Amino acid sequence: MAEKLLMKGNEAIAIAAIRCGCDGYFGYPITPQSEVMETLMEEKPWETTGMVVLQAESEVASINMLYGGAACGKKVMTSSSSPGISLMCEGFSYMAGAELPCLVANVVRGGPGLGSIQASQADYFQAVKGGGHGDYQLIVLAPNSVQEMYDFVDLGFELAFKYRNPALILTDGVIGQMMEKVELRPEKPRWTDEEIIKLHGSWATTGKTKDRPQHAVTSLALESAVLEKFNLKLIEKYKQLNELEVRFEKINCDDADYLIIAYGSASRVCEKAVELARNEGIKVGLLRPITLYPFPTKAIQDMVKQLKAIITVEMSAGQMVQDVRLAVNGAIPVEYFGRLGGIIPTPEEVVVALKNIIK
Amino acid sequence: MDVKDIIKPENKVYGKCPVMTEKVLHYCPGCSHGTIHKLLAEVIDEMNIQDKTIAVSPVGCSVFAYNYIDIDWQQAAHGRACALATGVKRLCPDKYVFTYQGDGDLAAIGTAETIHACNRGENIVVILVNNAIYGMTGGQMSPLTLEGQVTSTTPYGRKIELNGYPLKITNLAAQLDGTCYVTRQSVQNAAAVRRTKKAIRKAFENSAQKKGTSLIEVVSSCNSGWKLSPIGANKWMEDNLFPFYPLGDLKDK
């Protein structure tokens, strides 16, 4: 039987990183995610797997350390929380532009500015619409349990390398701090130098040998025609992501007249809200996007015919609701309910909000 | 005697370093970058470490350095070269890693990354090409611009009360426990070129010996940015930059 441990969401990220063959973690302390680096330092993976863990001088430095490692074909990751992620956005843009894989976890806190240290989902736009400059996308995964915090580290690396694109785990202070049982998956060894050359030898800076041309990892393309061609290549990559990598979960949707759409910790609240509403005879289901980019647009569209209305529940001022409205394109009403500033909505509040759109 | 009779291997006294590519340099005639590139290529060739060297290019005139030196390169965001180099060196400790940066890149926007990489004693080589100006963007003031120096953003000369003092970042780096070798060189004549090459070789050897960070500032000319002839720029450099940025080793441990 697989080993199960009780751990915090942030600890799960750290343990998963070591066990899935991550080569390097570069981070900077910020609440509510500091346990990620603290756990790694406590575990000393450089003595077991050889994984490097380094505390950087800033989030700007840590994302650029990732650039350096990723360009060598290494599995590199960092974690931070909202203000720190804002600083990393420059690096996201450069890494997307240089087609570099990496994994970043954003344990979101309330904003804007220094905001609060309580859980929030107010960084949705930043995660799925860019944050940095230029036409690029991050692959965005939204765990709603400590088990998924663990599992999405490996999944994030898998997708990041498959598409040579930065991947982001968009989570929040609740999931980062809460403790749940986690089933540990089988360990994966770190790639050897030979494996890196075999897997990524066509692009990574592994040292120019006589038998191959120089590799220059760059996002620079001064000629407009060259850059446009590259932009189109990225668009094709994102199209592939939308075709192949959409992930979502549906709960009680088969006979639903109404649909709640929520991700992350809000979806946990909404699971209970669906149960309460169904006890009162309201036929409501829950659709939980697991990938926020690519967004489950088609899954929502496929349900529109059976639905009377949709409500998104978000711990933000209403961000994901815009993507749902785009998907639905005016066919049925799409409303939003949320709490802000680090306040978590209760299931009862969600039921009241749901009843408000029914009447 | 025909010229073909002279071109024989036994008569060869000098040749293009094979680690330099065939591409034509985009630098202005009179610029120091080409010479510094050549010295790096020569050291890499002589140490036979082409397959063991990973370099980081900056934002600035040398953004395209990867076009000229035939090794693996990473192109960094403005100022972040030392952070990239840290990531590379920590994950590939058997590689030689160097950054190649201008004074605007290294000493303004990249000050934090530079100082902290030096202070951690990363086993990397940092090449600072100091021409006291932002060259690529058209000759604006950099932190290393001299007092009174006319640039496009200090059209009446750099004023201390407005712009603060020129930043002697190399002196600052020499104060840090993580640096093992900090030197200031130039490439305006043959003797200076030889000294700079020696410094580069020493810095690469320091990396192999895990002695810490080596920083080589090369005080350089930017005749286009300074609006001088190549010869006039060298003279201005000797008369104005060298007194403020004196050449020689600041630290060698």
| Per-residue pLDDT reduced to its tens digit, B102-142 | 999 999 999 999 999 999 999 999 999 999 999 999 999 99
Say if B233 is an interface residue toward chain A (CB within 8 Å): no
Q: Does B19 fall in a domain? A: no
Say if B123 is an interface residue toward chain A (CB within 8 Å): no
B87/A64 CB distance under 8 A = yes
DSSP line for A16-32: HHHHTT--EEEE---TT
| Per-residue pLDDT reduced to its tens digit, B131-188 | 999 999 999 999 999 999 999 999 999 999 999 999 999 999 999 999 999 999 999 9
What is the count of structural domains for chain A?
2
Computed on alpha carbons and rounded to an integer, the radius of gyration of chain B in Å comes to 18
**Residues in a beta bridge with B125:** B98, B214
**Which of chain B's residues have a Cβ under 8 Å away from the Cβ of A74?**
91-92
Cross-chain CB nearest to B87 (options A67, A207, A214): A67
A143 and A31 within one domain: yes
A14 and A124 within one domain: yes
Q: Kindly tell me if the per-residue pLDDT of B19 is higher than 70.
A: yes
Task: Please tell me the distance in Å from B76's CA to the nearest CA on chain A.
Answer: 7
Domain ranges, residue A256: 249-358
Map tokens 């020696």 to a residue: B198
DSSP line for B133-176: SBTTTTSB--TTPPTT---SS-TT---HHHH-----HHHHHHTS
Q: Kindly tell me if the per-residue pLDDT of B4 is higher than 80.
A: yes
The answer to whether A18 and B79 have CB atoms below 8 angstroms apart is: no
Sequence-distant (≥ 6) Cβ neighbours of residue B109 within 8 angstroms: B78, B79
CATH number of the domain residue A19 falls in = 3.40.50.970
At A21, the amino acid letter reads: G
When pLDDT is cut at 50, 70 and 90, the band that residue A130 belongs to is: confident
What is the count of structural domains for chain B?
1
Which of A52, A59, A64 is best to mutate for the B interface (most B CBs within 10 A)? A64
CATH number of the domain residue A347 falls in = 3.40.50.920
Which of B68, B73, B84 is best to mutate for the A interface (most A CBs within 10 A)? B84
Interface of B with A in 138-157 (CB under 8 A): none
Q: Does B109 fall in a domain? A: yes
Cross-chain CB nearest to B91 (options A62, A74, A218): A74
Q: Does B6 fall in a domain? A: no
Task: Please tell me the distance in Å from A208's CA to the nearest CA on chain B.
Answer: 4
**pTM metric for this prediction:** 0.97
Domain ranges, residue B53: 31-252
Q: Does A200 fall in a domain? A: no
- Name the residue of chain B whose CA is nearest to A206's CA: B72
**Which of chain B's residues have a Cβ under 8 Å away from the Cβ of A71?**
74, 84, 88
Final residue belonging to a domain, choices A183, A201, A217: A183
Final residue belonging to a domain, choices A143, A165, A183: A183
Q: Does A234 fall in a domain? A: no
Map tokens 């094979």 to a residue: B18
When pLDDT is cut at 50, 70 and 90, the band that residue A1 belongs to is: low
CATH number of the domain residue B229 falls in = 3.40.50.970
The alpha carbon torsion through B167, B171, B174, B175 (nearest 10 deg) reads -80
Final residue belonging to a domain, choices A147, A165, A183: A183
